[in-house]
Structure 1
Amino acid sequence: MATPISTVMSPARYVQGKDAITRVGEFVAPIGKRPLLVADDVVWGIVEDAVRTSFDAAGLPVERVGFGRFATPQAIDDLTAKIRETDSDVVVGLGGGSAIDAAKASGHLAAIRWVSVPTAASTDAPTSALAVVYSEEGEFIEYRFFPHNPDLVLIDTKLVANAPVQFLVAGIGDALATWVEARAAKRANADTMAGGLQTETGVALAELSWRLLHENALQAIASVEAKVVTPALEKVVEANTLLSGLGFESGGLAAAHAIHNGLTAAPQAHGLAHGQKVNVGTIAQLVLEGAPADEIEDFVVFTTKVGLPNTLTEIGLTVDDRDVLQAVAEAATVESETIHNMPFPVTAEAVVDALVAIEGISRSIRAAHGLPEPELYRAH
């Protein structure tokens, strides 16, 4: 039996700041001379001028391929074929988490380097050495793991400030899970997504992400609503993207993301952002582990103020949808899921009970604090 090791993974370079997109060519040029850009039409319409100007200055050609909604097996295979067709030596994912994950996965298959350029701080996917693969309908299929992280992650906080505020909110939901899951994995002495035991570094970064979000999230949301870059926004972008990315990968996932993966199979929740479903997974994890009442109360109050769902109602479900909840719970507890990084055994029945419980718990806490009642989400 191999001796256990602790490990931490990270991108080779992380770049963040206002107007950072105007320098993307400068940072890509040392990585590759024949880049393939992956971006949907909306994202490309926003960044094209800045990217072209920057690439021209760096002596790089501009070759762009479009992207759909999800990083599906077919989308990844198509991108891999395009890389080979164009003889590209670096693939650059621009936009959201799925475009970036597809770029990583195709770059790995084509044996070239890859770069993440998120245009919103909506997930912690950009920094990681893994991709989340979905079906055409957005149902979770698998994680794909790679031997290294991106060579570059570049995020422009001016683009974040001008993106829809719900993207930042979703990123906060994704990042809030990082510390809750990492501390559970620590108690279980579980392996992380980096392929070994936790380092103290990974756990500390997860906790720092949590702290920065609680201190700055509401100000950062106000900044995006005003379309301005402030120190609070810079801190939240770093928490959502870098700290949460390093924290989840080298700190460990647990129940929150497993429950998210289960929720992708619920048609009622289709159309919700990754971080919205993760947040429901986080409150469910807190209930599963019997977290102190004041901690659950603080989490419900804070996430309600941020604008994240913490009830079944807000993800299109009710406590009476037992068949759907059972299907979600069974998907969340398959043998390969990260829920088994919890420091105690978790059954599908326990997950159903936790999901049912959060409805009444969150409603009562919200009422006690004069916060709005949950509104029923209807999938488009």
Structure 2
Amino acid sequence: MSASQDHPPVRTLISPARYAQGPGAIERLGELVAPVGRTPLVVADDTVWSFVGDAVARSFDAAGLPLTRDGFGVYATAAAVDSIADRVREVGADVVVGVGGGSVIDAVKAAGHLAGARWVSVPTVASTDAPCSALSVIYDEDGGFEEYRFFPHNPDLVLVDTRLVANAPVKFLVAGVGDALATWIEARAVARGDGTTMAGGAPTATGTALARLSWDILWEHALPAIDAVRDHLVTPSVEKVVEANTLLSGLGFESGGLAAAHAIHNGLTAASQTHGLTHGQKVNIGSVTQLVLEGAPVEEIRAFVEFTTRVGLPNTLTEIGLTPGDVDDLTRVAELATAEGETIHAMPFAVRVPDLVDALRSIEGFSRRVRADAGLPEPVPHRAH
């Protein structure tokens, strides 16, 4: 949403109608879905359904809800969205429930909007802030970024069972930390300029503050939470990090603003070398690069590289399958990241393709030096799959 010259953008905050989190929360799904709709369609892939299906069935039975479950593929593609929307109409569903990762949740939101149904997000991992938002990221069949789709409202319910999160592979929690760390870096950049947010207006102080709160929680609790999830434990640190990754980052990015980091992520999806990486891993490359573009204090960038290395996130091109010498590939990344409508244009200064290419190429040497000085491991090359 852009403002006219006569009417400056209003400040706005949007959020899910209800957020519920805790160990065993999946057992209450039916109870919390029932006020939203009485004829649900649940969408979950076979792997996810193998460990949540019984609990969902029990909760729906207790709430007097019928259970219809459809499977899901890999990416939230336009075709997947259309297919789910067709099924919503076919079964007469008034609410569609996405259970699993960010792709199925994004596909369900977009399908619910197309079919005129409400939607509910049930992430089984804390790997992105997608569950809370009123937008979906649509990809092509190979995982390349295609477009954002925006909706008139957020999910009616977001339910996170932290026991499921703790039992998932730790790489998903790490990815969520990478996605959420960008929230404050981007929100503060938007607040310095006159950019608009995904909520369709200027950033609110509340959205910006929630982005900062997410950052503060992660710096204090990410490492102990990651250790706990490696052992499939739910601790107070795990609860805080799940909330930071999912709710605080979701509210913070949507009502605080996105900037360069996520635009760089979108650009990186065009490089086949990065396929197989999580959303949060690519976003973290965007965060380091944004800090370089901003001319942030060197000690701040150094601390970020050290911390994200300890978390297990990439901060060099090597770790995402690229090198500083891949100038043609990095130029394509930069061209996509700076395309019209991309969030990089919310930065408080213009970012040109050559500037972005140089910033991307520079993070390799800087991060390697920081890691060596701190006695941290050298980067391990990523092999696309």
> TM-score, normalised on structure 1?
1.00
**SS of the residue 1:343 aligns to:** coil
Residue in structure 2 matched with residue 6 of structure 1 by the alignment: 11
Residue in structure 2 matched with residue 109 of structure 1 by the alignment: 114
Unaligned regions of 5+ residues in structure 2, if any?
none
**SS of the residue 2:136 aligns to:** strand
**SS of the residue 1:340 aligns to:** helix
1:34-45 aligned at under 5 Å gives the runs 34-45=39-50
Aligned with 1:135 (options 126, 131, 140): 140
**SS of the residue 1:114 aligns to:** strand
Q: CA deviation at 1:88?
A: 0.4
Per-residue CA distance 1:314-350 (angstroms, 9 max, x = gap): 0000111111000000000011100001110001111
Per-residue CA distance 1:216-258 (angstroms, 9 max, x = gap): 0000001101111000000000000000000000000000000
Residue in structure 1 matched with residue 323 of structure 2 by the alignment: 318
1:274 pairs with 2:279: yes
Residue in structure 2 matched with residue 374 of structure 1 by the alignment: 379
Q: CA deviation at 1:99?
A: 0.1
Residue in structure 2 matched with residue 309 of structure 1 by the alignment: 314
CA distance in 1, matches of 2:40, 2:261: 36
Residue in structure 2 matched with residue 182 of structure 1 by the alignment: 187
Residue in structure 1 matched with residue 171 of structure 2 by the alignment: 166
Per-residue CA distance 1:240-285 (angstroms, 9 max, x = gap): 0000000000000000000000000000000100000000000000
Residue in structure 2 matched with residue 123 of structure 1 by the alignment: 128
**SS of the residue 2:148 aligns to:** strand
Q: CA deviation at 1:3?
A: 3.8
Which amino acid in 1 is paired with 2:169?
P
**SS of the residue 2:88 aligns to:** helix
CA distance in 2, matches of 1:335, 1:343: 16
CA distance in 2, matches of 1:108, 1:171: 25
CA distance in 2, matches of 1:170, 1:348: 27
Q: CA deviation at 1:189?
A: 2.2
1:338-357 aligned at under 5 Å gives the runs 338-357=343-362
Q: CA deviation at 1:73?
A: 0.4
Q: CA deviation at 1:212?
A: 0.1
Residue in structure 2 matched with residue 218 of structure 1 by the alignment: 223
Aligned with 1:333 (options 330, 338, 341): 338
1:96 pairs with 2:101: yes
Residue in structure 2 matched with residue 55 of structure 1 by the alignment: 60
Q: CA deviation at 1:4?
A: 2.3
Per-residue CA distance 1:61-106 (angstroms, 9 max, x = gap): 1101110110000000000000000000000000000100000000
Aligned with 1:18 (options 20, 23, 43): 23
CA distance in 2, matches of 1:122, 1:11: 18
CA distance in 2, matches of 1:128, 1:306: 25
CA distance in 1, matches of 2:288, 2:158: 30
1:83 pairs with 2:84: no
Which amino acid in 2 is paired with 1:157?
T
CA distance in 2, matches of 1:27, 1:125: 20
Which amino acid in 2 is paired with 1:106?
A
Q: Structure 1 pair 3/341, CA: closer, same or farther in 2 (3 Å)?
A: closer
CA distance in 2, matches of 1:347, 1:137: 27
Which amino acid in 1 is paired with 2:302?
E
CA distance in 2, matches of 1:277, 1:46: 28
CA distance in 2, matches of 1:58, 1:43: 22
Aligned with 1:233 (options 238, 251, 262): 238
**SS of the residue 1:131 aligns to:** strand
CA distance in 1, matches of 2:256, 2:73: 31
CA distance in 1, matches of 2:42, 2:166: 23
Which amino acid in 2 is paired with 1:359?
E
Percent of aligned positions that are identical: 68
Query: How many residues get paired?
Result: 380
Unaligned regions of 5+ residues in structure 1, if any?
none
CA distance in 2, matches of 1:161, 1:307: 17
Per-residue CA distance 1:103-156 (angstroms, 9 max, x = gap): 000000011100000000000000000000000000000000000000000000
CA distance in 1, matches of 2:8, 2:317: 43
Q: CA deviation at 1:194?
A: 0.1
Per-residue CA distance 1:150-204 (angstroms, 9 max, x = gap): 0000000000000000000000000000000000000012110000001100000
**SS of the residue 2:357 aligns to:** helix
**SS of the residue 1:60 aligns to:** coil
**SS of the residue 1:92 aligns to:** strand
CA distance in 2, matches of 1:80, 1:251: 30
CA distance in 2, matches of 1:112, 1:88: 7
